[in-house]
Amino acid sequence: MTAIDRLQSTFARIATLDEAAAMLGWDAAAMMPPGGAQARGEQMATLAGLSHELLTAPALADDLAAATSPADPWAAQNLALMREAHTRATALPRDLVEASARAGSACETIWRTARAASDFAAVRPALAEVFNLARQSAEILGAALGLSPYDALMAQYQRGIRAADVAPLFADYTLFLQKALPLAEEIQNRRSHESLPPGPYAVDLQQALCARLSAAAGLNFASARLDRSAHPFCGGTPTDIRITTRYDESDPLSAITGVLHETGHGLYEQNLPAAWRRQPVGQAAGMAVHESQSLIIEMQAVRADEFLAHLAPVLAKAFHKPITQGALAHRLRHVARSFIRVEADELTYPAHVLLRFRLEQALLSGALPVADLPEAWNEGFHALLGITPPDDAQGCLQDIHWYDGAIGYFPSYTLGAMAAAQLFAAARKALPALGAHLAAGDLSPLVSWLAQHVHSQASSLGFNELLLATTGEKLNPAAFQAHLESRYLTQ
């Protein structure tokens, strides 16, 4: 066995452990009775600990040092990703890793109460400690990886794009939004307001329809399940996708769009290249690319006029109610200034992310003291959307991310939305009949195109490399803005 063989075998073992953890994570959210929670936490910790031990074993370091870069570009990228994973796992002192885990866990617990009481002061010291430790980690990781501290954190979630690349795109969006939002509101007010028929929409009908739409979108249910959980997600492994949703009897579109969003994630995983299964290069390319694949289904394809024209009679038949395309469009493309990110429409959603992107960099560098966060949040929010959160629960306390130690994650949402629009525009060009396919409810040409150009590329390319290869240019928010203009700013 060569060093490369041994490395591939060990990384496959680590990935197999991670798969076990992914299944247990799904079970915890979708199946587990409450009494199982403590033991499940211990099971997950044991799996993570063994995974970490395998990744940091001295023999693996020796093999990484001995391995020479293979000629095959995928194999070479695989080795590079192994080195990066090993560097990340070994760069940080154990004390710092454990202190960070403890601080994140403690802060998250306090945050749950603090958010409910809208009491930022209660969680402030814990959050300061989270950022304090994250700063130390980010500096060490950045030095080891040749990245700025913030980029070192951001790259945990999405490789191949840096804060310096993101900042001008987001600044541009700020300017766009200042003009676009009032105009979209004005146009929206002038449009007719068709409503969905009142509920109830029976949950079993919703469930059957969601499964049918997901399968029609291409998810292979011989290797997937659809279940319920408090928060929708896509978990599992490439050959055993577990998507979840929640159902609201008064509103079927929440589950339907949620399931189609998760279906986009699931399709990405199902179409990853089997030949590189369980190798670093065979994994999805990152959170932003993943989000682009859920949003291209949910936002670009499903909310397109053509698909809504198909969907309206499907829903009408399933629920035996007069559901029109106009009502779907009104419900699914409603723009509103709101305080909560996860409830935002696609036009204002980036504003929520822009604010967080700016603030988390300032918090990480120390330029913004944690104590000043609520004020900075509220001012920044007002500048972007013209409204001020009435309390911190609807402001800087709303998201778990920072309180749980996830810093550098937020940009992925908007990078994904922008990439989805750019990819969809490229798909429209490459597939002249795409509109007709959507009108027939047929997503398969789009999904095949994505499988070929995105899914099957796995982690062989970073974020901007992938867009360049697929669309001819790096991330360019023009496609996203053109999409928004056509959907919201056209009379």
Q: Which residues bind its own copies (CB under 8 A)?
A: 13, 16-17, 19-20, 23-24, 27, 31-36, 38-40, 42-43, 46-47, 50, 220-225, 236-240
- Between CA 239 and CA 220 the distance in angstroms is 9
Q: Which of 14, 15, 58, 13 is nearest to 283 (CA)?
A: 15
* Amino acid of residue 23: M
- Between CA 201 and CA 373 the distance in angstroms is 42
CA trace torsion 195, 201, 205, 208 (10° rounding): 60
Q: How far is the CB of 40 from its own copies (least distance, A)?
A: 7
Of 238 and 477, which CB lies nearer to its own copies in the complex structure? 238
Of 19 and 360, which CB lies nearer to its own copies in the complex structure? 19
Of 15 and 397, which CB lies nearer to its own copies in the complex structure? 15
CB 335, CB 181: distance < 8 Å? yes
Containing H/E element for 237?
strand 234-237
Active site residues: 262
Q: How far is the CB of 290 from its own copies (least distance, A)?
A: 20
Of 39 and 183, which CB lies nearer to its own copies in the complex structure? 39
DSSP codes, 145-187: HTS-HHHHHHHHHB-S--HHHHHHHHHHHHHHHHHHHHHHHHH
Of 17 and 81, which CB lies nearer to its own copies in the complex structure? 17
Question: What is the CB neighbour count within 10 angstroms for residue 191?
Answer: 12
CB-based contacts of 272: which residues, under 8 Å, 6+ apart?
Answer: 238, 282, 283, 284, 455, 456, 458
Residue 286's φ and ψ, nearest 5 degrees, are 145, 175
Q: How far is the CB of 373 from its own copies (least distance, A)?
A: 38
Q: How far is the CB of 259 from its own copies (least distance, A)?
A: 16
Of 50 and 122, which CB lies nearer to its own copies in the complex structure? 50
CA 267, 273, 278, 283 torsion-angle sign: negative
Place of tokens 């896509």: 234
Q: How far is the CB of 23 from its own copies (least distance, A)?
A: 6
Quick one: tokens of 140? Answer: 């060490």
Of 77 and 237, which CB lies nearer to its own copies in the complex structure? 237
Q: How far is the CB of 50 from its own copies (least distance, A)?
A: 6
- Between CA 147 and CA 139 the distance in angstroms is 9
Q: Which of 474, 428, 386 is nearest to 169 (CA)?
A: 474
Q: How far is the CB of 56 from its own copies (least distance, A)?
A: 15
